[in-house]
Structure 1
């Protein structure tokens, strides 16, 4: 992909977003306010990344720890030089191939970048999103004299399920955000792949839609995977905590072979089941909601957060999620479900 090939125009914008909406959103960002916007992954809670006071509003709205860095969204790959230094050649190669798109690069920060963005670290996360509304907003913001960078973590309460539709943002944040740009459902549905390029060998810090083998094919060098890294040796990044993406309802992952028996053993306890490989068993107990999940990884990822939100709203005692298939195409989904299960059931109503 290239910036030119993905350049948005007003004709490519969804009918829900007008030029007047973009102008208002740019004005709010320049005034230090928060604007939620769609990306191809999830909805972001945007603030001028050069304005530490504006970025602080993100943390207040989300209930996010102050040392947790945010990703800066850029209008084009050339803007990397404004935010990062000592940029290795491999970063430009990855940007040329995957940007705009769901890839975040961790690089050495420029000295002026606010600590509020980086969590006080010497690195910064950068990406060019592959959504027409996000790109139109970023380019209009830069053209209007803005910093050219918008900090944009997921537009939800910290630790909760990421939003993939404008209504999810409204439900989560309400009047904590000045404006929500409604670009429809996010086509990818899970957060970007994060690759650390700040210290020699490229390292995968968060799996996503772009797989390790696809990255290695472009880089021509091996990619160190999370299971081979020590937490103390890598930068803190978004979505890396053990508990994240979590519903309020207790969530348990159950293997395919045991799923139906587990449900029948529950004895009528109110629960919801999300299953990809099989239909509801004969004799399904009363009070059990059985929902079929997509059987392909891209469709599963697209539906995942919306499905978790829907299941979480049923008022059941627990959620049973059938463990997805193994393989590299499913690794990001396993990552999100594992963290969701770890954090599920906890009170996430931070203020």
Structure 2
């Protein structure tokens, strides 16, 4: 079994040398921690799938430190795509492009003629990529299907002994993965909602952006992560609770003989909770709730084992669309009734 090392930001040269040897190193971003491997090394990329237990037709995002890195693999970057890059890079937006034939292995693309690219806002990770000298694949650094990691400790819990190291830069700021927009088609389409909203994208592009494509069929190859397979799911059953349903949900919890996890806004937790309830504070709004969502799910998976989790639902507007996208998948779309 590998010894998984924790690297500090001052040790990036050592972490980069491990990546150059074909090892796997997890890295921080502003969204969640990613699992890095040399995107040009097919064997290293295949090890990412093995480490995560990830289906091989689920394509990987290519994480870059510069636009020049993208241009090595992409035949054409449209004027519309350049507008988005100018506005949102570095940042939590991933763009899908048609790539030059054979420029990336099928292990990266899932066999498609497109690939997804992102330049993270985290300076440490961009420096790591520069030191490595090649782009890195960067799926979330967790066991496939489980809540994404927002701290180095989350990564260590899932992947200890399966990867060479983790660059620790503390908790992430956004907490949900990047927005993915498909720029390989005539009409841009958001395939995964994130911190960059459809309204923001349309304002920059000055054209409509489709936002209805979030799932694909069993026999289709997804263009982006999160469109096909079960995601973000803890062992416990999650029940989403709308704001007006908290009194009924807590009354139900009070009648249970087992402990119930409660992921709720601060104002709900300030009430007197039933004795069976184990609280996890999501803060005062959807911004803090998004930052803490995966940490809360992991808390009740890894530390305070429960069979049921009541989790706050938010209106599906702005960042709430990304938050609810993840929460619906973690709950199997189950609301408290």
Q: Fold conserved (TM > 0.5)? A: yes
Whole-angstrom CA distance in 1 between matches of 2:291 and 2:316: 18
Q: Deviations over 1:197-255 (max 9, x none)?
A: 11111001000000111111111111011259976999521122362111111111122
Conserved 8 A contact 1:84-1:107: yes
Shift of 1:59: 0.3
Shift of 1:311: 2.5
Conserved 8 A contact 1:77-1:99: no
Aligned to 1:7: none
- SS of residue paired to 2:297: helix
- SS of residue paired to 1:161: coil
Q: Which runs of 5+ in 1 are unaligned?
A: 1-14, 143-147, 345-351
The answer as to 2:217 corresponding to 1:217 is: no
The answer as to 2:53 corresponding to 1:63 is: yes
Aligned to 2:193: 207
Conserved 8 A contact 1:159-1:343: no
Shift of 1:86: 2.8
Task: Summarize the alignment of residues 8-47 of structure 1 with structure 2, pairs less than 5 Å apart.
Answer: 16-18=8-10, 21-47=11-37
Q: Which runs of 5+ in 2 are unaligned?
A: 1-6
Root-mean-square deviation (CA), in Å?
A: 2.2
Whole-angstrom CA distance in 1 between matches of 2:294 and 2:140: 12
User: Structure 1 residues 228 and 39 mapped into 2: Cα distance closer, same or farther (>3 Å)?
Assistant: closer
Conserved 8 A contact 1:163-1:169: yes
| 236-245 or 182-191, larger mean C-alpha shift | 236-245
- SS of residue paired to 1:252: strand
Match of 1:161 among 147, 154, 163: 147
- SS of residue paired to 1:54: helix
Conserved 8 A contact 1:206-1:226: no
Match of 2:327 among 329, 332, 337: 337
Whole-angstrom CA distance in 1 between matches of 2:76 and 2:20: 29
Whole-angstrom CA distance in 1 between matches of 2:121 and 2:62: 14
Conserved 8 A contact 2:58-2:221: no
Aligned to 1:188: 174
Task: Summarize the alignment of residues 1-351 of structure 1 with structure 2, pairs less than 5 Å apart.
Answer: 16-18=8-10, 21-111=11-101, 112-142=103-133, 148-226=134-212, 235-241=222-228, 243-266=230-253, 267-268=255-256, 269-276=258-265, 278-280=267-269, 284-312=273-301, 313-342=303-332
Instruction: Say how many residue pairs are matched.
Output: 323
- SS of residue paired to 2:325: helix
User: Structure 1 residues 214 and 281 mapped into 2: Cα distance closer, same or farther (>3 Å)?
Assistant: closer
Whole-angstrom CA distance in 2 between matches of 1:288 and 1:55: 42
Conserved 8 A contact 1:193-1:208: yes
Whole-angstrom CA distance in 1 between matches of 2:290 and 2:270: 25
Whole-angstrom CA distance in 1 between matches of 2:173 and 2:17: 27
Q: Deviations over 1:132-188 (max 9, x none)?
A: 11111011122xxxxx21001000000101011111111000011101111111111
Conserved 8 A contact 1:274-1:291: yes
Conserved 8 A contact 1:59-1:66: yes
Shift of 1:126: 0.3
